[in-house]
Structure 1
Amino acid sequence: MASKLTAMLLADMERYLKGEMTGLELQKFEQKLKEDAELRSELRIQIELFEAVGNNSDYSVFQEKLNREEVDKLKSKLRSKEYQDLSANIKNAEKVYFSEQSKVRPFQKYYRYLAIAGVIVLFFGIYFSQMNPSYSSYYDSYVDYSTLPSFIEKGEVTTFTKGELVFKKEDYQAAAEYFAAIETSNELYPHSLLWLGASYDKLNQNDKAITTFQKLSKVADPYLSSKGYWYEALIHLKDNDKEKAMKALEKSTEDEDNFNFQEAKVLLRKLD
């Protein structure tokens, strides 16, 4: 038998989605879900509101854990100052609408609210996809500094090794200072550019990282220079700059002996 959609049941759905139910409450609510198609349908609407911007349309309401990653991303974007005025305008419009509908029954208001919320979420989804395409996800997928060449030798202490050690301890500011101090005459200077660019990247100093990797792309060693193009492309993707990323990737794919040649070809094809 279908459950009457009471205010308490709506509150239970919200607590269920937020993971706030105790073990016994959770067990009872999920049993109710299994027995009640209407309740499952209502929960699906709530899930879509929680997860609308993500790409999780095929998951089941009976999963033990909902994917919170996309929700967190949306919340982060909505907290940014750039979207606060828009959010305020939407809320004001919502208040005006409901004040004009004061004679409508509470649950009719609830369904109308879902419709309005759906439009709002759809708007944000389109707005974000147009203004902030997710090219940065490619950066997340491909960036890897775990394979940077190490020059630490037992008993030897140099500016380079000091930088390498603090980088591995995640003290990226100190690492940047050490690698930036290495002279161009030092035989490890090209490698220091690679580590320096990585340090700037970790510090989210993207402009400095790009400039450093561009310097690396001009060194005499063709394999090292190709690393400059590869990592420059990744930082441009991190900045959501598709065009500049593609230009750097085109340089990466000019020679099959270049660093990450195949990966660059695949990534370039995805962006094209």
Structure 2
Amino acid sequence: MAIELTEQLLAQIDAYLQGKLTLIESEAFEKRLQQEPDLQEEVRLQQQLFDTLGAEKWHSIQRTKNKERLAELKSKLRSKEYQELSENIRNAETVYFNEQSSSKSFKKYYRYFAIAGMIVLFCGIYFSQLNTSYSSYYESNVDWSTLTSFAEKGELNTFSKGELAFKKEDYKTAAEQFSMVETSYELYAHSLLRLGASYDKLDENDKAIAAFQKLASVDDSYEASKGYWYEALLHLKNDDKEKAIIALKKSAELKDNFKYREAKVLLRKLE
């Protein structure tokens, strides 16, 4: 049975590899390693990657939201192709050293660099993918500063209060105001868009998605299509590709929809 890589266990593995555990903690962890082959394998992979990339870069990768790609990378390291590549390099290394009269110390360092080079060569593409998560699509497509202003001078109602708060970057107050706009109000659809934007700014992603889903159900088809588009982008912010694709397909159904072409392009990239 595969082990569950909790945050606590990952922190323990990290501390073990860096020699930060106490003697008692280290002995207890090593005893567990002897009893759990899956944990041994995980520690071996962590050590391999830690040694090759260095502490700082490996820690940044561990913190990535894209757990799916991190799991894919580790799967590649366990794969038959990787193991065969590793074996071929070791065989080539043996032949090379048999033909040379170099010192033992040189052999030692050459071996280290050969293995490190192999890992970097094999994993480089995967690490570059890890560092570019789906949230990058969200970041390149969302710009709330372009929202049209509907506020008129001297007018003070719930919607205008929300707009004013949003402009002042008081997103909590903005969300409170926009959430109180009545469904009968002529700018109700626009209030839902701004409600979602406010929650997005507050990093309350689930509430933002709920607001955009509500926007997608309004009678005005063009305004509704904005709901699908921004819902998709919030799913990408959460690195949830599958839900993003579902929303994007709805966004790309009609040519008159908001961001129709962009939705089609994004779909091709994700599918």
Instruction: Provide the TM-score with structure 1 as the length reference.
Output: 0.58
Q: Deviations 1:249-270 (Å, cap 9, x if unpaired)? A: 0001001111111111111111
Does the C-alpha gap of structure 1 residues 82 and 147 become closer, same or farther in structure 2, counting only changes over 3 Å?
farther
CA distance in 2, matches of 1:126, 1:169: 35
CA distance in 1, matches of 2:245, 2:197: 20
Question: 2:196 matched to which residue of 1?
Answer: 197
Question: 1:87 matched to which residue of 2?
Answer: 14
2:70 maps to 1:130? yes
Q: Which has the higher helix share?
A: 2
Where structure 1 has 5 or more consecutive residues not aligned to the other structure, the ranges are: 1-79, 97-112
Does the C-alpha gap of structure 1 residues 90 and 157 become closer, same or farther in structure 2, counting only changes over 3 Å?
same
Question: 1:49 matched to which residue of 2?
Answer: none
The amino acid that maps onto 1:118 is T
Question: 1:172 matched to which residue of 2?
Answer: 171
The amino acid that maps onto 1:237 is L
Paired residues for 1:232-251 under 5 Å:
232-251=231-250
Question: 1:212 matched to which residue of 2?
Answer: 211
Q: Which segment drifts farther, 196-205 or 126-135?
A: 126-135
CA distance in 1, matches of 2:208, 2:148: 18
Does the C-alpha gap of structure 1 residues 82 and 191 become closer, same or farther in structure 2, counting only changes over 3 Å?
farther
The amino acid that maps onto 2:197 is A
CA distance in 2, matches of 1:195, 1:136: 20
Pairwise CA distance, 1:89: 2.5
Pairwise CA distance, 1:95: 11
Instruction: Provide the TM-score with structure 2 as the length reference.
Output: 0.58
CA distance in 2, matches of 1:249, 1:116: 38
Does the C-alpha gap of structure 1 residues 84 and 93 become closer, same or farther in structure 2, counting only changes over 3 Å?
closer
Does the C-alpha gap of structure 1 residues 118 and 171 become closer, same or farther in structure 2, counting only changes over 3 Å?
same
Pairwise CA distance, 1:117: 2.2
Partner secondary structure for residue 144 of structure 2:
coil
2:256 maps to 1:257? yes
Pairwise CA distance, 1:84: 2.3
Question: 1:227 matched to which residue of 2?
Answer: 226
Pairwise CA distance, 1:123: 6.7
Does the C-alpha gap of structure 1 residues 227 and 117 become closer, same or farther in structure 2, counting only changes over 3 Å?
same
CA distance in 1, matches of 2:167, 2:19: 50
Partner secondary structure for residue 206 of structure 2:
helix
Q: Which segment drifts farther, 172-181 or 119-128?
A: 119-128
Paired residues for 1:91-106 under 5 Å:
91-92=18-19
CA distance in 2, matches of 1:84, 1:227: 42
Question: 1:103 matched to which residue of 2?
Answer: none
The amino acid that maps onto 1:182 is V
Where structure 2 has 5 or more consecutive residues not aligned to the other structure, the ranges are: 1-6, 24-46, 72-129
The amino acid that maps onto 2:202 is L
CA distance in 2, matches of 1:126, 1:167: 34
Does the C-alpha gap of structure 1 residues 83 and 202 become closer, same or farther in structure 2, counting only changes over 3 Å?
farther
The amino acid that maps onto 2:149 is S
CA distance in 2, matches of 1:155, 1:116: 61
Q: 1:117 aligns with which of 51, 72, 89?
A: 51
Does the C-alpha gap of structure 1 residues 91 and 266 become closer, same or farther in structure 2, counting only changes over 3 Å?
same
CA distance in 2, matches of 1:144, 1:263: 14
Root-mean-square deviation (CA), in Å? 3.0
**What count of residue pairs does the alignment treat as equivalent?**
177
CA distance in 1, matches of 2:60, 2:258: 36
Pairwise CA distance, 1:94: 11
The amino acid that maps onto 1:170 is E
The amino acid that maps onto 2:52 is G
Partner secondary structure for residue 254 of structure 2:
coil
Pairwise CA distance, 1:141: 1.0
Paired residues for 1:42-57 under 5 Å:
none
Partner secondary structure for residue 210 of structure 1:
helix
